[in-house]
Amino acid sequence: SKAYQAWLSYEKLSDNYLNKNEELLSNISVYGKTNLSASIKEELKRALPKFLAADFKLNFKDRYQNKILIAAETEVKEIAAGSKEISSILNNVEFGELDEEGYLIKYFKEQDLLLLTAASDQGLLYGVFALLREIQQENDLLELDLLSNPKNNLRMLNHWDNLDGSIERGYAGKSIFYKDNQLVNDLKRIRDYARMLASIGINALSINNVNVSYQETRLIDDKIEMVITIADILRDYGITTYLSANYASPMQLSSIDTADPLDEKVRLWWKEKTAEIYDEIPDFGGFVVKADSEGRPGPFTYGRSHADGANMMAEALEPHGGLLIWRCFVYNCQQDWRDKETDRARAAYDNFKDLDGQFKENVLLQIKNGPMDFQVREPITPLFGAMPETNQVLELQVTQEYTGQQKDLCYLIPQWKKVTDFDTYAEGENTPVKRIVDGSTYNQKNTGFAAVVNVGNDQNWTGHHLAQANLYGYGRLAWNPDLSAVKITEEWIKITFGQDQEVMESLLRMLLYSWSIYEDYTSPLGIGWMVNPGHHYGVNVNGYEYSRWGTYHRADHEGIGVDRSVATGTGYAGQYFKENAEKYETIENCPDELLLFFHHVPYTHELDSGKTVIQHIYDSHFRGVAAVKELQGHWEKLEEKVDSEIFENVNKRLKMQLDNAVEWRDQVNTYFHRISGIDDKFDRKIY
């Protein structure tokens, strides 16, 4: 179905476009003999007949004589030796500017030749998907002159799949990898997933939950066959397989009774175990580790540091070229809510900053975008840029855990752009997060992007069809964080829904405003949480207020917010470089959108917008619900224009979203109306 094909459904092109390009598109030579080349050919064979006409058969010529030439640099040069035509263009092909995974697509008018080339077959694969994307958007092929290198070396997704088939925070069905502690039968689906990922440039996948229980721990042991099978599929699409590893694996899988990172037995165990894995999977990527976090085992148990723990595992991976990705989501989840001094937001920085310089070259610290946990609005984690001698990876969440769980529409690219563009001031002005994690600021190569994903076996992969856009956009941003949100969004709409202008306009509005709409009807001004504990969907103002997780709003009858200033609060604001620290330190300088994250203020405090905090709460919640109705209006107009299965899927979810928004509005407004005793200026019904 179209829902399943996602953005690779390759619809028939318009007559106009076909007339112009049919000849070009019917004459393609593809060089290369690797598995990646086979994937390239397969994809072209899939796409071209759909673009052109059902009975079109693509015949590849293995000798160059065609209008489109797809070949890696070395092959292009070989062809040039026997072809005047090709040798005449060589001087105008910027081979020198291509990185290992980059590609070049360029049309040469005189020769009437479209060249797609790259330094490697992997680059060629990305180039082919880029070319198909150009065609799907009906862009002018004769104008093509596109050289693209990925900005980030690591472009990863983290699955939180369990072997029993469940997915932690899964809102799109069951695992596409596992069922009943075995591999699923439908391996084709894994292949189709790999195609989707390659089409957006993803090159690394960790395939099991970071909370590794016994079954998943066995993936590096007697269940390795499963990993081998998956890795074989992913490899054909240039994707490297990683595993989440249980820090205490030696205790689970052997008779060793410790996981002390400085214990020789433990070190040896990891070396041997890792060597075994590489015997089976020579291009295995490495491990992702969640240690000393939310009940997971880790080096703290033995009085050792995270550097000790990470280095011990990194040392085992090192001879094989593997990477050790260590998560910085480490905080005290047993804290006393009465204690106003402890602050969960401080945790990543406090736990890791001083370890700078102690990690091995193949250790990467994976850092969540915000200091708490993927809330609708959070400041950016101050650890970015604060460890110049340590490889840093940005962790985002494609899974909409706190942003509507793929029932509500919440398109996250605008949020992520704010994260990647955030100026850390680490090396003075203009040191944005994206230039830290692409390795350019501190000249590092083991850096990049990771995101948690919950793609599942729902027909459309993501539950809400429009949530596909988050996955798509993540990949595009990881490839090039300089792409604008609008550009990415337009691209996704066109290649998913075609050229219709009305579809474009409605969807652009829906997607681009959805994050602020979601924010409007949920928790205000950066305070976060207020969700139902455990599953995290829907409103519960005090759900996390008197519990051990460190997630508070501290509302009383006078005011709300957490004082994180240095002067009078937890000191979190002081973890930033000076410019940002000063901005967040005072109520006057702190931007409204984060005011309650950084400060405790009275309900009568006047915001930059001129409204009081309480009036802002009322207004934004009424506005949020109204905006969801507008979303419905936009979507209803498209009924005749989009695939009916997709239409129904989104339609149903917009209804759920409206119910959810109404509930949020009513509970939040009522709660703050009662507790503050202040009436709505406009006298609306608050309950």
373 is catalytic: yes
Alpha-carbon distance values, 229 to 232, 241, 601, 615 (Å)? 5, 11, 56, 57
User: Does 497 contact ligand BDP by CB under 6 A?
Assistant: no
Contact present, 367 and 393 (Cβ < 8 Å): yes
One-letter-per-residue 3-state SS of 276-294: HHHHHCCCCCEEEECCCCC
Which residue is catalytic, options 294, 389, 502, 558?
294
Strand partners of residue 146: 105
And the tokens for 198?
Answer: 């390659």
Catalytic residue (one of 43, 315, 373, 563): 373
Q: Could you give the 3-state DSSP secondary structure of residue 104?
A: strand
Residues 241/234, Cβ–Cβ less than 8 Å? yes
Q: In the complex with ligand BDP, which residue's Cβ is closer, 51 or 160?
A: 160
Nearest distance, CB of residue 433 and ligand BDP, angstroms: 19
Residue (293 or 431) nearer to ligand BDP, CB: 293
Residues between 614 and 673 that touch ligand BDP (CB under 6 A) = none
Those residues whose C-beta lies under 8 Å from the C-beta of residue 41, and which sit 6 or more positions away, are 30, 60
Place of tokens 């919440």: 410
Residue selected from 103, 329, 584, 603 as contacting ligand BDP according to rule CB under 6 A: 329
CB of 90 to ligand BDP, least distance (A): 50
| CA 394 – CA 420 distance, rounded (Å) | 9
Q: Which of 216, 401, 519, 520 is catalytic?
A: 401
Tokens read off for 216: 């998943």
**Residue among 26, 111, 137, 211 that touches ligand BDP (CB under 6 A):** 211
Task: Give least dist CB 372 to ligand BDP, A.
Answer: 9
Tell me whether residue 329 or residue 622 sits nearer to ligand BDP (CB atom).
Answer: 329
CA–CA separation, 15 vs 20, rounded Å? 9
Q: Which of 267, 290, 599, 605 binds ligand BDP (CB under 6 A)?
A: 290
Residue 373 interacts with ligand BDP (CB under 6 A)? yes
Cβ closer to ligand BDP: 384 or 549? 549
Strand partners, 204: 156, 240
Asked if 391 contacts 352 with a C-beta cutoff of 8 angstroms, the reply is: no
User: Which amino acid, one-letter code, is at 119?
Assistant: A
Assess 376 for contact with ligand BDP (CB under 6 A): no
Residue 315 a catalytic site member: no
Within its chain, how far is the Cα of 603 from the centroid? 36
Q: What are phi and psi of 428, to 5 degrees?
A: 80, -175
Residue 274 structure tokens: 């890792």
Whether the CB-CB separation of 376 and 602 falls below 8 Å is answered with: no
**Does residue 401 interact with ligand BDP by CB under 6 A?**
yes
User: Is residue 139 part of the contact set for ligand BDP (CB under 6 A)?
Assistant: no
Q: How far is the CB of 417 from ligand BDP (least distance, A)?
A: 21
Smallest distance from the beta carbon of 336 to ligand BDP, in angstroms? 21
CB of 24 to ligand BDP, least distance (A): 47
Q: Which residue's CB is nearer to ligand BDP, number 43 or number 373?
A: 373
Quick one: which of 537, 506, 544 has its CA closest to 639? 506
Cα-to-chain-centroid distance, residue 610: 36
Q: How far is the CB of 217 from ligand BDP (least distance, A)?
A: 16
- CB 11, CB 136: distance < 8 Å: yes
| Shortest reach from residue 294's CB to ligand BDP, in Å | 6
Amino acid at 117: T
Nearer to ligand BDP among residue 83 and residue 547 (C-beta):
547
What tokens were used for 226?
Answer: 């499963």
- For ligand BDP, which is the closer residue by CB, 492 or 544? 544
The mark string for 578-607 relative to ligand BDP (x by CB under 6 A, - otherwise) is ------------------------------
DSSP symbol at 312: H
Helices 35-51 and 121-136, packing angle to 10 deg: 10
Question: Of 18-77, which residues contact ligand BDP (CB under 6 A)?
Answer: none
Reported residue count of the chain is 687
Which residue in the block uniquely carries the two structure tokens 């195609």? Answer: 195
User: CA 107 to CA 185: how far, in whole Å?
Assistant: 43
Our CB check for ligand BDP shows the closer of 149 and 462 to be: 462
Nearer to ligand BDP, 123 or 297 (CB): 297
- Closest approach of Cβ 402 to ligand BDP, in Å? 7
Smallest gap, in angstroms, from Cβ of residue 400 to ligand BDP?
11
* Smallest distance from ligand BDP to CB 367, Å: 11
| The only residue of 374, 442, 492, 672 in contact with ligand BDP, by rule CB under 6 A | 374
Contact present, 496 and 350 (Cβ < 8 Å): no
Amino acid identity of residue 617, one-letter, is: I
Q: Which residue is nearest to ligand BDP (CB)?
A: 373
424 phi/psi in degrees, rounded to 5: -80, -20
Q: Which one-letter DSSP state was computed for residue 435? A: H
Closest approach of ligand BDP to the CB of residue 290, in Å: 5
CB 602 within 8 A of CB 559: yes
By CB under 6 A, name the one of 151, 169, 417, 616 that touches ligand BDP: 169
Q: How far is CA 593 from CA 377, 379, 508, 526, 557, in A?
A: 8, 9, 23, 6, 22
Q: Which is nearer to ligand BDP, 366 or 575 (CB)?
A: 366
CB of 244 or CB of 441, closer to ligand BDP = 244
Among 36, 130, 204, 210, binds ligand BDP (CB under 6 A): 210
Of 88 and 211, CB closest to ligand BDP: 211
Distances, alpha carbon 324 to alpha carbons 384, 494, 589, in Å: 18, 38, 39
Size, binding site for ligand BDP by CB under 6 A: 10
- CA distance linking residue 348 with residue 343, whole number of Å: 11
Q: Residue 423 catalytic?
A: no
Q: Which residues are tagged catalytic? A: 294, 373, 401
Applying CB under 6 A, the residues found at the interface with ligand BDP are 168-169, 210-211, 290, 294, 329, 373-374, 401
